[in-house]
Amino acid sequence: MIVAKAYRLINTLSIDVVLGAVCCALFFARLLQVSLLLYGIVSLALTVWIIYTADHLLDAKRVEGIATTRRHHFHQQYFSLLSICLLLAMVSNIVLLFFIRERVLLGGLFLICGVSIYLLLHTYLKVPKEVLISILYTCGVLLPSLMVTPVIWHELPYVLIAQFALSALINLLVFSWFDYERDRQDGFKSMATMWGRTNTARLIYVAAFINTALFFISEDRSASGVPVAVAVLHLLILYRADFFGKDDRFRLLGDASFMLPLFYLLW
Rounded Cα–Cα distance for residues 102 and 107 (Å): 9
pLDDT on residue 62: 83
> Rounded CA gap, 32 and 34, in Å?
6
In contact, 218 and 159? CB cutoff 8 Å: yes
| pLDDT at position 29 | 95
- CATH number of the domain located at residue range(s) 2-266 in this protein: 1.10.600
Domain positions in the chain are 2-266
Percentage of the residues of the chain whose pLDDT score is greater than 70? 98
Count other C-beta atoms under 10 Å from residue 61's C-beta.
13
Helix (H, G, I), strand (E, B) or coil at 157: coil
- pLDDT surpassing 80 at residue 125: no
Range list of H helices, 78-128? 79-96, 102-121
* For the chain, percent of residues with pLDDT exceeding 90: 59
- Rounded to 5 degrees, what are φ and ψ at 195? -110, -15
pLDDT digits (tens, 9 = 90+) for 182-234: 888 887 888 899 899 999 999 999 999 999 999 999 989 999 999 999 999 99
Could you tell me if 154 and 115 are in contact, meaning their C-beta atoms sit under 8 angstroms apart?
Answer: no
Instruction: Report residue 44: phi and psi, to 5°.
Output: -60, -45
